[in-house]
Amino acid sequence: MSLQESIEARLEPAGREQIGQLQIRRFTQLLGDLLGTNGFYTSKLGEAGVDSPHAVRSLDDLRRLPFTTKRELSDDQESNPPYGSNLTFPIDSYVKIHQTSGTTGEPLRCLDTVESWEWWADCWATVFRAAEVSADDRIFYAFSFGPFIGFWSSYEGARKIGALASPGGGMSSVQRLKAIFANDMSVLVCTPTYALHLAELAEQEGIDLASSPIEKAILAGEPGAGLPATRARIQRAWGAEAFDHAGATEVGAWGFECLDRNGLHVNEGEFIVEIIDPDTTEPASEGEVVITNLGRPGYPVIRYRTGDRARIETSPCSCGRTFARLDGGVIGRVDDVLIVRGINVFPSAIENIIRSIPGTGEFAVDVRRSNELDEMTIRVEATAAKEADVVADTETAMRNALNLRVRVEPVEHGTLPRFDLKARRFTDHR
Ligand SMILES: [Zn+2]
């Protein structure tokens, strides 16, 4: 039994208090590892008066520590090139570099040791086990592998559970579809947007996806699988169950869904998650997700402000787990709310509406100001249905759900951009 499995066995189900005690034990261990060796946190925590692991004895103590922001990590990397000073071990202990877009224009580079790379894989093994993906499964990655960490760590997680894994990088979408059938793949791992794109393409090519060998789809890299309408559409097209996942290069693979799919479970054996009001930074039930990782001493983040928005639920799940859940998963970014004529509109709400209308394909939303008035235009591809129906249905649904009058322009199928990572559908021109 791996450390991760034994932690899960001990914690699931455990009382909330027990989970908190284990988290703090592991956090003080982490502090012991990094104080005096990790330049970034030794100095940051030192300024906050923390120079010994014993300074933090409870989750309340942890909540008094300063937040970490992406800007700080980016600035630190710029001042201490090329990797910054958030390194606990000598550079030759590290075996992996991955990167994400930084805030200063330079990519933010995050390093892993042999041990922390195993930890990533263990966290992904948790994702697979919760969805009951096992050694009997064959996992296909419909993704162009690059410097982004997400799907590499998932690939390692597949090894941990003994499943057969196939990378789908360097292939066209049609080649990926063919590979899924030819290799009798049972699990698809990709972004929710790309799962929809493959479904659309299969329809054009006359491939009946519902009869494909895929039984489960684990969707990561962007929110979406937690949106009811997006999930329903993916499940219908693929004849498969869809599971949401959340993780980040700076943080780790921290979220998973159980078979009951009652929201995104937080892997609280490996991460401490807080939700704060992004303006006041006070604890909140809905707001910004703040994460401390417990198993990556070589590149730790303490109270990292992810910029993700979520609602937390700590009552036990019907699956029996007591790990907290995020209702509907990550519901967007804290700074991506669009204020249109005084109404707060979340991009995820618009996506959920459009995906629930039959015959809609890809879409793009633009907000402009004309004659002192905010105008929202939704360009939407009409697929199976008549253009006029799609326009009328979208307008009506937006008015009913959000109390917002929008202009809907039908566009030809296949003309809007497709994304295989982090879709960008919303543009505020004001
Ligand atoms: Zn559950």
Find the CATH number of the domain harbouring 375: 3.30.300.30
Please give the distance, rounded to the nearest whole angstrom, from the Cα atom of residue 228 to the centre of ligand 1. 17
Q: Quick one: pLDDT band at residue 348, thresholds 50, 70, 90?
A: confident
Give residues whose Cβ lies within 5 Å of ion ligand 1. Answer: 258, 260, 317, 319, 321
- When pLDDT is averaged across residues 316-321 and rounded to a whole number, the result is 93
Regarding whether 170 and 57 lie in a shared domain, the answer is: yes
Please give the distance, rounded to the nearest whole angstrom, from the Cα atom of residue 266 to the centre of ligand 1. 10
Euclidean distance between CA atoms 333 and 337, whole angstroms: 8
pLDDT of residue 347: 87
Please give the distance, rounded to the nearest whole angstrom, from the Cα atom of residue 218 to the centre of ligand 1. 15
What's the mean per-residue pLDDT of the chain? Answer: 92
Please give the distance, rounded to the nearest whole angstrom, from the Cα atom of residue 12 to the centre of ligand 1. 10
Any bridge partners for residue 110, and if so which?
98
Euclidean distance between CA atoms 345 and 366, whole angstroms: 13
Preceding peptide of 107 cis, ω within 30°:
no
Asked whether residue 105 carries a pLDDT value surpassing 90, the answer given is: no
Q: What is the pLDDT of residues 171-213, one digit of tens each?
A: 999 999 999 999 999 999 999 989 999 999 999 999 999 899 9
Asked whether residue 384 carries a pLDDT value surpassing 70, the answer given is: no
Domain count, the chain: 2
pLDDT of residue 189: 97
Please give the distance, rounded to the nearest whole angstrom, from the Cα atom of residue 127 to the centre of ligand 1. 12
Single out the residue in 298, 316, 334 at which a domain terminates.
334
Regarding whether 270 and 160 lie in a shared domain, the answer is: yes
Tell me which residue range forms the domain holding 58. 1-334
Q: Quick one: pLDDT band at residue 3, thresholds 50, 70, 90?
A: low
- When pLDDT is averaged across residues 51-78 and rounded to a whole number, the result is 96
Please give the distance, rounded to the nearest whole angstrom, from the Cα atom of residue 323 to the centre of ligand 1. 8
Please give the distance, rounded to the nearest whole angstrom, from the Cα atom of residue 333 to the centre of ligand 1. 24
- Orientation of helix 150-161 relative to helix 114-130, angle to 10°: 70
Please give the distance, rounded to the nearest whole angstrom, from the Cα atom of residue 221 to the centre of ligand 1. 21
> Of all residues in the chain, what percent carry a pLDDT higher than 90?
74
Q: What is the pLDDT of residues 323-337, one digit of tens each?
A: 999 999 998 888 878
Please report, for residues 94, 174, 423, the alpha-carbon distance to residue 418 in angstroms, rounded to integers and kept in the order given. 35, 14, 8
Predicted structure pTM score: 0.87
Euclidean distance between CA atoms 379 and 375, whole angstroms: 13
- When pLDDT is averaged across residues 157-182 and rounded to a whole number, the result is 96
Given the DSSP bridges, would you call strands 164-167 and 138-141 parallel, antiparallel or unpaired? parallel
Euclidean distance between CA atoms 113 and 297, whole angstroms: 9
Q: Find which of 177-186, 352-361, 415-424 is predicted with most confidence, using mean pLDDT.
A: 177-186
Given the DSSP bridges, would you call strands 407-411 and 426-428 parallel, antiparallel or unpaired? unpaired
- When pLDDT is averaged across residues 289-299 and rounded to a whole number, the result is 98
pLDDT of residue 182: 97
Single out the residue in 304, 334, 364 at which a domain terminates.
334
pLDDT of residue 287: 95
Residue 146: name the closest of 100, 178, 114 by CA: 100
pLDDT of residue 338: 85
Regarding whether 293 and 350 lie in a shared domain, the answer is: no
Please give the distance, rounded to the nearest whole angstrom, from the Cα atom of residue 239 to the centre of ligand 1. 22
Please give the distance, rounded to the nearest whole angstrom, from the Cα atom of residue 130 to the centre of ligand 1. 8
Please report, for residues 158, 188, 227, 301, 334, the alpha-carbon distance to residue 224 in angstroms, rounded to integers and kept in the order given. 23, 15, 5, 25, 16
Single out the residue in 334, 358, 388 at which a domain terminates.
334
Please give the distance, rounded to the nearest whole angstrom, from the Cα atom of residue 419 to the centre of ligand 1. 30
